[in-house]
Amino acid sequence: MAGLPIVCSDFPVWRRLIDEIGCGLCVPPNDPRALAEAITRLSENPDEARAMGRRGREAVLSRYRWETQAQNLVDLYRSALRAG
């Protein structure tokens, strides 16, 4: 929401989300060199970093907030109650 690019561990769920939105970089966990390279890339490419941050903010405002996710949660609870 702050409009900053994300640098996160390269886990499949996170990679899909980050790649879909185009809001950051994924690096292998426990690889400090890859982390440093990602941070350096963003630092040396401020236009790219701003674009990633902007896309992330837009995704939060349009898709990943309570108003847009509430029905998903309600549906999940209803499904769990029916299964139980």
For residue 62 the two structure tokens come to 């349009």
How do residues 11-58 score in pLDDT, each as one tens digit?
A: 999 999 999 999 999 999 999 999 999 999 999 999 999 999 999 999
Q: What are phi and psi of 9, to 5 degrees?
A: -65, 145
Say how many domains are in the chain: 1
Angle (deg, nearest 10), helices 46-62 and 12-21: 100
Q: What is the dihedral of CA 34, 22, 42, 51, to 10 degrees?
A: 180
- The pTM (predicted TM-score) of the whole model is 0.78
How do residues 33-44 score in pLDDT, each as one tens digit?
A: 999 999 999 999
The DSSP string of 58-76 is HHHHHTSSHHHHHHHHHHH
Q: Which domain holds residue 67?
A: 6-83
Q: Is residue 17 part of a domain?
A: yes
Q: Would you say 18 and 26 are in contact if contact means Cβ atoms under 8 Å apart?
A: yes
